[in-house]
Amino acid sequence: MTAVRLALVAHDAKKDEMASFAERHRTFLGDCTLFATGTTGLRIMERCPELDVRRLKSGPYGGDQQIGALIAESGIDALIFFVDPLSPMPHDVDVKALMRVALVYDVPMALNRASAEMVLAGLARGEGSAVEAEAGGRA
């Protein structure tokens, strides 16, 4: 079985929470292929230097779109996106586009810590888009 390909994104007010989440799950994440938008990836790497994180551009500079393209090319198995619903987002259109692509391609998507815990638990059991398809589940 190939490594789970996981995208990690967090709004500014949620970046520390994402870094803490990564630290808590560093053992599992160490076996994943990780993609993250710019600053989110940097914060994760600072907290967990042993993790190999492929940093893309920051969200407002195209990082959300890069992750969306990876999803469209079947290069992402799950998306964890810690959203801050209380702060205005200048690149809200990009955020909505990323979520729409994840929905269209039926990629598991967590938008807060509670749902992210559930997504990781499912991935650890071998459930999820490409992981499950490889094991004979849905295609």
Q: Which residues are catalytic?
A: 64
Is the distance from CB of 113 to CB of 21 less than 8 angstroms? yes
| Residue with token string 């459930």 | 127
What sign has the CA pseudo-torsion 13, 110, 37, 99?
negative
Q: How many CA atoms lie within 13 A of 40 on its CB side?
A: 29
